[in-house]
Amino acid sequence: MTEMIILVLVVVTALAFDFTNGFHDTGNAMATSIATGALKPKIAVALSAVLNVVGAFLSIAVAAAIAKDLVDQSVVTLPLIFCGLVGGITWNLLTWLLGLPSSSSHALIGGLIGAVIAAVGMHGVLWTGVASKVVIPAVLSPVIAGSVAALGTWLVYRSTRRVSARNRQDGFRWGQVASASLVSLAHGTNDAQKTMGVIFLALIAHGSVKGSDDVPVWVILACGLAIGLGTYIGGWRVIRTLGKGLVEIESPQGMAAEAASAAVILASSHFGYSLSTTHVATGSILGSGVGKPGAAVRWGVAGRMVVAWLLTLPSAAVVGAVTYGVAHLIGGAAGVGVVFVGMLALAGFMAYRARATLVNADNVNEEWEGGVAPASASVHAGV
């Protein structure tokens, strides 16, 4: 019975993580299309949501492993997976509140590493794997994506100098929608699959399925719907920072940025590297600002993001470790239940705080005035 309660809480928490993954990452694909008016905000998030669900169903190889090359698989238990997920969700919600794009994969990995350290100590973590599969790609991928996007932006502006501004804007909007759709589809196949793997592993640990079985259809269905629903809710705060905060973006830049993102994500997954979509997309958008002569790039906003990226792993790890300590101290289903209730309370508090500076489909494109909160939101809330 105790095992069953823990299993249910792990599955629910994994789906909650998948949901935050969806709304945190909507902006990676759609922020530029929303900012340039290529798509209406609601249409953009709906399109991205559908493509994420389609992508989830196309995921073929679901690995029944969690962070396989990063933590010692023999120490993984249900409460440990649970606390790793709580660490990931907490960091996703905090960065969403601050309107900062940050990697959901890094948040989950960080939470797991923290829980592993709390459970068995430093030797449970495969540090070489962490360096080669997480840290180095995280440093390289935004630089590569940004350089490609800068080159692409420079090329398209240079080659369309004689095209009228209107034709150029309309033409590139089409290209933008196509390239952003590819990013959404790739996101669905990559990210929904991670949660499927987590739930599958939990089911194996519980003994409900065997490792040689296929992933149950309800797992694929639930994960696809969770990430799609999250995407549709739209992480408007993150979308606003990516589309309006980082650079003033026009449709040719948007197409160059999304094409660079799609190319880098596809190339690296083809060669066996899994990258953070967030790092790639942010690098590309920044690059599209660098590549257009005279475009304004807000380096202060970019700096804040980089700080958030550096803090992602350690912060999520601290939450993972502390919650594991609490769950372990109380023990059993009660321990996991207490952490679950604590996480719900924290999530509720952050959602409440977000209402004071509400960002939604109506004000997401307002002029950037130094922060994620649009001028109209503060007036509305009386702050």
Partner 1 sequence: MSDYIDLATVGKVIGFAIVAGAGLPLVFALGLRSLSVGTAEGDEQSFQVTKNPAALVGAVVCFLLVAAAIVYAVYLITHKS
Should residue 165 be labelled a site residue for partner 1 when binding is judged by CB under 8 A? no
Residue 362 Cβ, how far from partner 1 at the closest point, in Å?
Answer: 31
Should residue 163 be labelled a site residue for partner 1 when binding is judged by CB under 8 A? yes
Toward partner 1, which CB reaches closer, 261 or 315? 261
Should residue 159 be labelled a site residue for partner 1 when binding is judged by CB under 8 A? yes
Should residue 53 be labelled a site residue for partner 1 when binding is judged by CB under 8 A? no
Should residue 149 be labelled a site residue for partner 1 when binding is judged by CB under 8 A? yes
- Region binding partner 1 by CB under 8 A among candidate stretches 27-35, 87-95, 186-194, 335-343: 186-194
Integer angstrom CA distances of residue 192 from 100, 148, 327: 21, 27, 27
Asked if residues 54 and 114 have their Cβ atoms less than 8 Å apart, the reply is: no
- Structure tokens given for 227: 């990430």
- Region binding partner 1 by CB under 8 A among candidate stretches 8-16, 79-87, 187-195, 327-335: 187-195
Q: How many CA atoms lie within 13 A of 311 on its CB side?
A: 16
The dihedral formed by the CA atoms of 225, 177, 255 and 143, expressed in degrees to the nearest 10: 0
CA dist., res. 54 & res. 192, Å (int): 10
The site that binds partner 1 (CB under 8 A) totals a number of residues, namely 53
Q: Which helix (H) or strand (E) holds 263?
A: helix 251-270
Should residue 175 be labelled a site residue for partner 1 when binding is judged by CB under 8 A? yes
Should residue 36 be labelled a site residue for partner 1 when binding is judged by CB under 8 A? no
- Region binding partner 1 by CB under 8 A among candidate stretches 84-92, 109-117, 130-138, 236-244: 130-138
Toward partner 1, which CB reaches closer, 105 or 261? 261
Should residue 63 be labelled a site residue for partner 1 when binding is judged by CB under 8 A? no
Site string for partner 1, 236-275 (x = CB under 8 A): ----------------x--xx--xxxxxx-xxxxxxxx--
> Bridge-partner residues for 125, per DSSP?
71
Q: What is the DSSP-derived secondary structure letter of residue 74?
A: G
- Structure tokens given for 348: 């509720």
Should residue 126 be labelled a site residue for partner 1 when binding is judged by CB under 8 A? no
* CA triple 279-273-245, angle to 5 deg: 10
Nearest to 308 by CA among 98, 155, 13, 32: 98
Q: Which residue has the tokens 């257009």?
A: 292
Toward partner 1, which CB reaches closer, 272 or 382? 272
- Structure tokens given for 198: 């987590």
- Please, what is the end-to-end C-alpha distance for the chain in angstroms? 49
Should residue 156 be labelled a site residue for partner 1 when binding is judged by CB under 8 A? yes
**Residues lying near partner 1 in the complex (CB under 8 A):** 55, 58-61, 128, 131-132, 136, 140, 144-145, 148-149, 151-153, 155-156, 159-160, 162-164, 167-168, 171-172, 175, 178, 182, 185-186, 189-190, 193, 252, 255-256, 259-264, 266-273
